Structure 1
Amino acid sequence: MNIETFYDNLWQDYINMTPQAEAIADALKSRGEQVLNDHVAFRTFNIGPIRLKDLEPFILHMGYTRYEPYNFPAKKLDAYGYIPPRDDLPRIFLSELRVEELSDNAQAIVRRLVDQIDPSDIKDASVFWRGPLWEVPSYEEYQELADESEYAAWLSVIGLRCNHFTINVNALNQINGIEEMNALVEELGFKVNESGGRVKGSPAVLLEQGSTKASVMPFTFKGGAVHDVSTCYYEFAKRYLDDEGNLYQGFVAASADKIFESTDMRNS
């Protein structure tokens, strides 16, 4: 699969789950802006055939290079950033949940889901937009996961999908900062993720970020119960030059920690 096909499929699945993203991108384009993607991000579990080390080869095969590791103690996550083979392509952020740090009950729920995966289904990069590879949990199980890890609950129902695309604010002409993007989002009727502040990061750490609150859609759980769940969100990033005059390529863990909360249902 070539990299253009990968991103075409990824974007189509993403906007199906996140209609606000298409509306925001269209609003920018209607103002004459070129909407470029700074990075995309994926979530997974650290067990079964979908561990970070199992998914990473698909990213590397497209020419990406592993950049830096990141750790999120409170959220029980490990992650890596990946640098694209060309400047016109987005970076990738891939994280995984340390399932062994959940309670015994929550671990049992996750393991039951992951045990259903047929390893032969993990054969190419289409795994990144195919959604859950298991029978979805009951609403009660989903709630139990959410009480411990919103990340685990989200992944249990949304599955292996891109949880966000990211507007490259540096490439915009009429908008110069994250707060201006936040204002546009609210003007269009969407919510901004204010966890950790409306603007996360600073020029001092070479990266500023903001994001919407995730779209919310009705979801049918095992047993037939229907409840709203968070799907995906749209992020905005502005990067700065380092002391050597190079554009910062990494991510800031303290900011990313709060960006993860864009999908939290308790604050929706």
Structure 2
Amino acid sequence: MTRSEQPQDGTPLLKLQNIEKSFGDVKVLKGVSVEVERGEIVAIIGGSGSGKSTLLRCVNLMEVPSAGRIEFQNFVAEFAEGRKNKISGEHLRQLRTQIGMVFQSYNLWPHKTVMENVMHAPMIVKGVSRRDAAEQAEQLLARIGLAERRNHYPSQLSGGQQQRVAIVRALAMQPKAMLFDEVTSALDPELVGEVLSLMAELANEGMTMLIVTHEIAFAREVSSRTLFFDQGVIAESGPSKELLRNPQSDRMRQFLSRVLHETY
């Protein structure tokens, strides 16, 4: 089901083919196919239960697809209905060290300081020395203006600060791609901007990103392409600036009208 294959020049960084995911009798993803180029920023929008967050979780195998194929650099995995789709621990480690993920909830370890949160995975998963991990953590925290909070615990930070720490904790693994799942939805409105600014910086630096979001203005300005999910399929897709100003389907127009309180 999994094997190593060296990617050819010009191939997408990530390729999903006919991804399906069922929970019991409920099919949440119904044959989703997406290709993501290196350095591309793809926004994923849609209503609650449309399958967008499930797709992200399938990309790094937090949810194992019921069917389909995932290709990421030299990682290939195929899944089929009616078969035990299991991934070895080594293949999971290979994939997850290259794909960072940030969630709605910050998921910081409450008993570890900010520095310890950022240093932990590089040391444990990649075998980075404590000295090198600390040096990298200092640089990342300085980048987001939180170096002076290095010895604070998550409970001593604001929501926006915690989410920025969660992002740089993922960056500490030096991933090839980042997945963001509604990372601003739990924040107070005045804290959203500081998190979106950090994500915009990553986009400008060429980080490959898949972003599930309701921040339509951010998606329009930062992402190169937008996918609109509805009932487990990609109902509409296209360049973000064009698609989010001029949606073609009635369903997407209804969604944007509800989210933006504007008429399309």
The bucket for the TM-score relative to the shorter chain is under 0.3
Q: Relative CO higher for 1 or 2, CA cutoff 8 Å, sep ≥ 6?
A: 2
Q: TM-score, normalized by length of structure 2?
A: 0.26
Kindly name which structure, 1 or 2, has the bigger radius of gyration based on alpha carbons. 2
